[in-house]
């Protein structure tokens, strides 16, 4: 029987535990972790994500400092705000919702966030720490989506050591950090991308296949081996001709692939909720690191 990995349930458990831990922090230190959420402009998808992240943060007891800036904000205005947030002791984590307007250089902004407050784990120093650390230890600030994928695998009791893992996608926010995490879990890792030859056969060698392409239903059942474990990171909105509406699908052809594999994440309800829960986990980690706890 194929296991459908329930990201909503696992993320809820993670958030329940975080709420308990943050309550303990509050009782002991008379303070709670603070997260600054910065959005520039009004891209609809960004507003949806920011709303979901803010709601989840408040639910676990994190204080949210909301900074919703006008689309005309300049790079220097934004750098000025981040500088202020870097110095504000009540702010333990800073999240800048991407994408930013075209007049702002995203990398310059991400680099300006103090590495200790880097709730998304995108700062070069944290990327470096993830790369050179020997284990996926609790003090690291790790990009939220791959961290969520790892936690899901661990939660399902899947033995990772010695497994062949294939990751499709080599982005800085998903593919590359996912590879770092799985290498440290002693998987043998292959990264595939748009220029990979013979990608279907490479995917067929995977015990664990993590798919982060950003194109709907690319991975078909003839790409996967019997009994593999599939983590589908993709979120794609497509037309649902039957209902004359739109719907969300992953990068994997779920209905076809699910009959062949031992476990698979659905879209929606898989990786998405885990990403948000891991942002909260990183904010707590940042608080503990900053207070040397």
Give the active site residues.
Answer: 53, 97, 120
Nearer to ligand NAP, 41 or 269 (CB): 269
Least gap, CB of 87 to ligand NAP (angstroms): 30
By CB under 6 A, residue 114 contacts ligand NAP = no
Nearer to ligand NAP, 60 or 91 (CB): 60
Least gap, CB of 252 to ligand NAP (angstroms): 11
Between strands 188-192 and 93-96, the pairing is unpaired
Least gap, CB of 144 to ligand NAP (angstroms): 7
CA–CA separation, 284 vs 87, rounded Å? 18
Whether 60 contacts 93, CB under 8 Å: no
By CB under 6 A, residue 146 contacts ligand NAP = no
Other CB atoms closer than 10 Å to residue 229's CB: what's the count?
A: 24
The region of 70-78, 80-88, 96-104, 164-172 touching ligand NAP under the rule CB under 6 A is: 164-172
List the beta bridge partners of residue 286: none
CB neighbour list of residue 40: distance below 8 Å, 6 or more residues apart: 69, 70, 71, 73, 78, 96, 97, 100, 101, 104
Between strands 236-240 and 245-249, the pairing is antiparallel
* C-alpha distances out from residue 69 to 51, 65, 79, 178, 223, Å: 15, 13, 12, 31, 44
User: Of residues 214-253, which lie at the interface with ligand NAP (CB under 6 A)?
Assistant: 214-215, 218, 233-236
CA–CA separation, 34 vs 63, rounded Å? 5
By CB under 6 A, residue 271 contacts ligand NAP = yes
Of the candidates 78, 141, 213, 229, which one interacts with ligand NAP according to CB under 6 A?
A: 213
The region of 60-68, 80-88, 103-111, 162-170 touching ligand NAP under the rule CB under 6 A is: 162-170
Tokens of 49: 């994500």
Nearer to ligand NAP, 193 or 220 (CB): 193
For ligand NAP, the binding residues (CB under 6 A) are 145, 168-171, 173-175, 192-195, 199, 212-215, 218, 233-236, 271-272, 275
């Amino acid at each position: 029987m194929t296991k459908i990995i329930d990201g909503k349930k696992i993320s809820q458990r993670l958030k329940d535990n975080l709420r308990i831990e943050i309550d303990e922090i509050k009782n002991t230190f008379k303070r709670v972790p603070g997260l600054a959420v910065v959005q520039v402009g009004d891209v609809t998808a960004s507003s949806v994500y920011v709303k979901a992240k803010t709601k989840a943060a408040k639910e676990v007891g994190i204080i949210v400092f909301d900074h919703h800036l006008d689309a005309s904000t300049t790079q220097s205005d934004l750098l000025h705000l981040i500088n202020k947030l870097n110095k504000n002791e009540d702010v333990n984590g800073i999240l800048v919702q991407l994408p930013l307007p075209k007049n702002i250089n995203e990398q310059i902004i991400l680099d300006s966030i103090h590495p200790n407050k880097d709730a998304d784990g995108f700062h070069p120093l944290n990327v470096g720490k993830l790369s050179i650390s020997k284990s996926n230890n609790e003090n690291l600030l790790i990009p939220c989506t791959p961290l969520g994928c790892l936690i899901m695998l661990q939660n399902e009791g899947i033995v990772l050591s010695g497994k062949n893992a294939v990751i499709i996608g080599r982005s800085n926010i998903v593919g590359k950090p996912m590879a770092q995490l799985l290498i440290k879990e002693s998987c043998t890792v292959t990264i595939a991308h748009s220029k990979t030859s013979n990608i279907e056969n490479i995917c067929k060698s995977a015990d664990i296949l993590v798919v982060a392409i950003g194109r709907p239903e690319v991975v078909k059942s003839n790409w996967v081996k019997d009994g593999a474990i599939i983590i589908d990171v993709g979120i794609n909105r497509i037309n649902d001709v039957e209902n004359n509406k739109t719907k969300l699908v992953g990068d994997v052809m779920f209905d076809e692939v699910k009959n062949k594999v031992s476990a698979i994440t659905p879209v929606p309800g898989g990786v998405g909720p885990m990403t948000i829960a891991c942002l909260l986990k990183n904010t707590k980690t940042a608080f503990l690191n900053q207070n040397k706890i």
